Chain A
Amino acid sequence: MAERIVFSRSLYAPEAVRAAAAAYGELASFELQVSAEAIEVVITEPDESVADVLVDEFCNHALHETIVSLRG
């Protein structure tokens, strides 16, 4: 089952979301689409052992990366 997450570009950096997708790349397939307003991520084929927390952990990672990148 595919999970779709929409990150606001005013709050999340596209590079940070890409970095999070790369970090979790072994646990699922990530498809990103970046527009002027949002970063849309579709997650498919999650690893069964982490499927229940994958989306939340991924979002946390994307936020963490965004904050770290902004702090330089």
Chain B
Amino acid sequence: MSAPPLQEGEVRDFTFQLGEREVSFDLDEELYSLDAIYGAAYLFVDRCYVFLARPADRTVRVRLRSQAAAEEDALKALAGLFANELLNQVLRLRIGRSTVRLREQVMARAFASSGTDSTIAQLLAELDAEELDEEPLEIAVPWETKAAEDEEHPEAKDG
């Protein structure tokens, strides 16, 4: 049985039914999409037993059953945590939808070839074109070459 439609200005609280070791509540799919409900349920299957039912069109009944004996307060907290996670999932999905084009563009730019050299190719080309500075200490000159030059021009060594 689904809840009656709200009158203008009327606010419906988050209501739930408590049972032995379990709490259940109905969600309106106009407010919480099935994806959001699945997202929250996915995070809760590790901490409790989750069962979904369809009591009416566009209404999903969520039943959370604790894995061990639980006080009433703990069950209320469990329902509250699930409701919070539902809002989190709704927001996450909404942000995901609103930024889908931006993400697609970023991915397209990352993977598509732009027709110009890639950054790495540009860096390699810069290195190849770079003229090395003169080396006054001639550290890169092999010892044999340097010794042969000294023998041929001893005056240059003396100074």
Contact = CB atoms under 8 A, between A and B. Distances in A.
Q: Do A and B bind each other?
A: yes
A32 to B, nearest CB: 17
A56 B60 contact: no
Interface residues of A, number: 14
A56 B49 contact: yes
Contacts of A44: none
B65 A56 contact: yes
B49 A57 contact: yes
A60 B54 contact: no
B50 A63 contact: yes
Interface of B: 34, 38, 41-42, 45, 49-54, 60, 65, 67
Interface of A: 8, 10-12, 53, 56-57, 59-60, 63-64, 66-67, 70
Nearest to B38: A67
A56 B42 CA distance: 15
Contacts of A64: 42, 45
Do most interface residues of chain B lie in helix, strand or loop, or is the interface mixed? strand
Contacts of B50: 59-60, 63
Given A8-B54, A57-B49, A60-B50, A67 B42 contact: yes
B111 to A, nearest CB: 20
A64 B39 CA distance: 10
A60 B49 contact: yes
Contacts of A10: 54
B38 A70 contact: yes
Nearest to A12: B52
* Chain A CB within 10 A, most for which of B34, B50, B60, B65: B50
Contacts of A60: 45, 49-50
Contacts of B67: 53, 56
B155 to A, nearest CB: 82
Nearest to A57: B49
